[in-house]
């Protein structure tokens, strides 16, 4: 199978402010005419070409986010949509439920979707997203300065109506 290609304007680098952060790219299928399957194939191909020790991908058509780094990492992208009743109870710790309860309407939905995305990125970085109960995993959205031990997290700047997070393990400090 030939590797998918797309116009250069369909690919843009995403900036992360933390030194030593992963490299990230956003693929916009609308600019390249890719259907959902082709978008996934293009993201896989881009990740493989990075040559990095660790890579991560997430898709929410028409977008894909691809990240690569020397250390374990995870990335997630979600469309901001109204949340179903019970969503907060299904994904939040007690503290996170209290924060969500203080919000209403679109602000609550945006908070919950961003929280979910941060937890998805973290659980992918930790190994297998299905191994973690989101009700017991504090979301990186609440980490002070986006840090927890060697773990780092940052919300991505994405097109309007979408939210995404990247989480990664910081490289060990060089021995002196």
Is the domain defined by 8-169 classed in CATH 3.20.20.70? no
pLDDT tens, residue order, the chain (176 aa): 445 566 666 788 888 888 889 999 999 999 989 999 999 999 999 999 989 999 999 999 999 999 999 999 999 999 999 999 899 999 999 999 999 999 999 999 999 999 999 999 999 999 976 778 888 888 999 999 999 999 999 999 999 999 999 999 998 754 44
How many Cβ atoms sit within 10 Å of the Cβ of residue 136? 7
**What is d(CA 167, CA 71) in angstroms, rounded to the nearest whole number?**
10
**What is d(CA 158, CA 80) in angstroms, rounded to the nearest whole number?**
11
**Contact criterion met (CB below 8 Å) for 132 and 64:** no
pTM exceeding the 0.85 threshold for the entire prediction: yes
């Amino acid at each position: 199978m030939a590797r998918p290609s797309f116009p250069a304007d369909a690919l843009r680098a995403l900036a992360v402010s933390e030194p030593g952060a992963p490299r990230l790219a956003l693929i916009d299928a609308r600019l390249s005419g890719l259907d959902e399957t082709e978008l996934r194939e293009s993201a896989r191909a881009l990740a493989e070409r990075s040559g990095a020790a660790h890579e991560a991908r997430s898709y929410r058509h028409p977008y894909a986010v691809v990240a690569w780094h020397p250390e374990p990492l995870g990335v997630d992208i979600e469309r901001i949509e109204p949340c179903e009743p019970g969503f907060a109870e299904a994904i939040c710790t007690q503290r996170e439920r209290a924060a969500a309860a203080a919000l209403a309407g679109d602000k609550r939905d945006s908070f919950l979707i961003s929280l979910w995305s941060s937890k998805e990125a973290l659980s992918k970085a930790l190994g297998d997203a299905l191994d973690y109960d989101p009700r017991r995993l504090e979301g990186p959205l609440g980490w002070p300065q986006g840090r927890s031990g060697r773990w780092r997290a940052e919300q991505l700047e994405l097109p309007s109506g979408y939210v995404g997070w990247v989480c990664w393990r910081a490289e060990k400090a060089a021995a002196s």
